Amino acid sequence: MDPDHLKTVFQQIRDCRDALKVGIVKFDKNVAIGKAIIATKEGKRWLKELRSGRGRLVDAQRECEEELVVLYRMAVKMDVDLDGSRFLSIHRFFYRNHMRLEEFLRRDVFPHFLTGLMSILLLTAVVFIYVVI
C-alpha cells in the first residue's frame, strides 16, 4: 500500500470511528429518554432491541480502533506519518538512538537492580519532554 493511500484509508477509518462515538452518545441520550417514557411490555422489548443495536455500534467502533492500530503498525514499518502526531517521531527517536540508550543504561553508573527502573524513568522523561516541547 502506498503512503498516500494509507493516509486516506486511515483518515476514513478515523472519521468513521469518530462518527460512531457521536452516534453512541446520541443513542445513549435517546435510550435515557425512552426509559423515562416507556413502561409497557412493548416498550421494554423496544428498549432491549435498542440496547442490542448499541452493542453493534460499540462493536463496530472497536473494529475501527483495531484497524487503526494495524494501520499505525504499517505506517511505522513504512516510516509514514499518518496523522501529524508525535507518535512516529518518538518511535524514530528510540529506534535511531536505541544503541546509545542501551549503552548508557549498561554502564556501571547504576546498580544492576536499578537498571530497569532507570530505563523506565529515562524513557518516560524523554517522551514527556518531547511531548511538552
Task: Please tell me whether residue 107 adopts helix, strand or coil conformation.
Answer: coil
User: How is 27-64 classified by DSSP, letter by letter?
Assistant: HHHHHHHHHHH--SHHHHHHHHHHHHHHHHHHHHHHHH
Q: How do residues 5-27 score in pLDDT, each as one tens digit?
A: 988 999 999 999 999 999 888 88
Q: How do residues 39-85 score in pLDDT, each as one tens digit?
A: 667 777 777 777 788 889 899 999 999 998 888 888 878 888 887 77
Angle (CA) 62 10 82, round 5°:
120
Q: How do residues 91-120 score in pLDDT, each as one tens digit?
A: 777 777 777 777 776 666 656 666 677 777
| 84: region left, alpha or beta (phi > 0 left; psi from -120 to 50 alpha) | left
Instruction: Kindly list the domain boundaries of the chain, sorted by start residue.
Output: 3-78, 87-132
Query: Does the structure show a pLDDT above 60 at 133?
Result: no
Q: Do 63 and 57 form a contact (C-beta atoms < 8 A)?
A: no
